[in-house]
Structure 1
Amino acid sequence: MAEFTVNPLRFDPYKNFKFRLKWDGRYVAGISKVSALKRTTQVVKFREGGDPTISRKSPGLNDYDALVLERGVTHDLAFEAWAAKVWQIGVAPGSEISLADFRKDVILDFFNEAGQLAISYKIYRAWVSEYQVLPDLDANANAVAIQHIKLENEGWERDTSVNEPTEPSFNSTSA
C-alpha cells in the first residue's frame, strides 16, 4: 500500500475550482466543468434455502458513471477531433469509426489554491458517447456559449505518486 505524506498545517478541504484535464500528453484548453467521478457497485441479493427470514447481500459488477466535460466554444479542435474518431459522417462505409484509437486514458489533475498539484486521477479507456458542438442560441441572452462531451470510461484510480504539496508561506514585513 502506498504511503501518503500529510501536511499537518492543512485543515481546510480543497476547493473545487482549480483543475485541469489532460489527454494525449497535453492539457485541454478551457475546461470549465467536469462532472463527478462516481463508481456504483451492484448489489447481488441471495437467500439460503434454510433461512426464510433474511436475504444476504454481496458485491456484484462495478459501473463507472460517464464524465461530462464543459468548456466555452473556442477554435481549439480537441473535443471535435476526439468525437470524430467515434463517428465521421460522409466517409466511406466501414471507416466511420477509428477502432485503433477512439479510446484514450485521461488524467484529471486537481490543484490547491496556490496552484500546486494536490491530487491526480487516471481515467481509463474513455471514449466520446455524446458531443454537443453549440448550445441553444439566443440573441437576447448574455452568456458564454458552452460545448460539452460525454466520456464513457472503464474505471479510474488515484495516482498515489502525487503527494500533498508543501504549501507556500508568504513572509509579511511590518513597516
Structure 2
Amino acid sequence: MAQFNVNVERFDPYKNFKFRVRWEGRYVAGVNKVGALKRTTEVVEHREGGDPSTSRKSPGRTKYEAITLERGVTQDLEFEHWANKVWHHGNGLGQEVSLKDFRKDILIDLCNEAGQVVKTFKVYRCWVSEFQTLPDLDANANAVAIESIKLENEGWERDPDGTELTEPTLSE
C-alpha cells in the first residue's frame, strides 16, 4: 500500500483555481473549467418475509457522472480532434467512428497556491459525448468565446503515487 506524505503545516483547504489536465502524455492548453468528479452508488432495498416491516439496504451499481472540460476558443484543435473520433460526418459508411482510439485516460492535477501538484486523479476510458465548438455569439457581449467537451467515463481514482510536497517559503 502506498504511503502518503502529509504536510502537517498545511491547515487551509486547497483552492479550486489551480489545476491542469493531461492526456496522451501532455498538458491540454487553456482548460479553465473542469466539472466535478462524482460517483453515485444505487441503493438496493430488500427484506425477507419474516423480517419486521423495515427494509435492509445494500450497495448496487455505481455510476460515474460525465465530466465537462471548458476552455477559450483558440487555434488548438485538441477538443475537435477527439470529438471527431466519436463521430465524423463525411468519413463514409462504416467509418464514422474511430473504434481504435476514441477512448482516452486523462489525468487531472490539483495544485496548491505555489503551483505544486498535491493530488492527481486518473479518469478511465473517457470519450466525448458532447462537443460545443462555439458558444452563442453576441455583438453586444464582452466575454471570451468558450468551447467545451463532455466526457463520459468508466470511473476515476486518486493516483496512489501522489505525494504532497513541503510548501516553499519566500526568502527575505
Q: Into which bin does the TM-score normalised by the smaller protein fall? A: over 0.9
What is the Cα deviation at residue 171 of structure 1?
Answer: 2.5
Deviation readout 1:17-65 (Å, 9 max, x if unpaired):
0000001111000000000000100000111110141111000000000
**Structure 2 residue matching 1:8: 3-state secondary structure:** coil
Which structure 1 residue ranges, 4+ long, deviate > 6 Å from structure 2? none
Partner of 1:115: 115
**Structure 2 residue matching 1:7: 3-state secondary structure:** coil
Partner of 2:161: 161
Partner of 1:32: 32
What is the Cα deviation at residue 4 of structure 1?
Answer: 1.1
Q: Which runs of 5+ in 2 are unaligned?
A: none
Q: Which runs of 5+ in 1 are unaligned?
A: none
Deviation readout 1:72-130 (Å, 9 max, x if unpaired):
00000000000000000011100000001000000001111001111000000000000
Does 2:126 correspond to 1:126? yes
**Structure 2 residue matching 1:79: 3-state secondary structure:** helix
What is the Cα deviation at residue 148 of structure 1?
Answer: 0.4
Q: Distance in 2 between matches of 1:45 and 1:12?
A: 40
What is the Cα deviation at residue 165 of structure 1?
Answer: 1.0
Partner of 1:170: 170
Give the TM-score, by structure 1 length. Answer: 0.97
Aligned-residue CA RMSD in angstroms?
0.7
**Structure 2 residue matching 1:167: 3-state secondary structure:** coil
1:43-122 correspondence runs (5 A): 43-122=43-122
Give the TM-score, by structure 2 length. Answer: 0.98
Q: Distance in 2 between matches of 1:2 and 1:43?
A: 31
**Structure 1 residue matching 2:70: 3-state secondary structure:** strand
Partner of 2:147: 147
Count of matched residue pairs: 172
**Structure 2 residue matching 1:82: 3-state secondary structure:** helix
Q: Distance in 1 between matches of 2:115 and 2:91?
A: 44
Q: Distance in 1 between matches of 2:114 and 2:18?
A: 9
Partner of 1:42: 42
Q: Distance in 1 between matches of 2:105 and 2:70?
A: 18
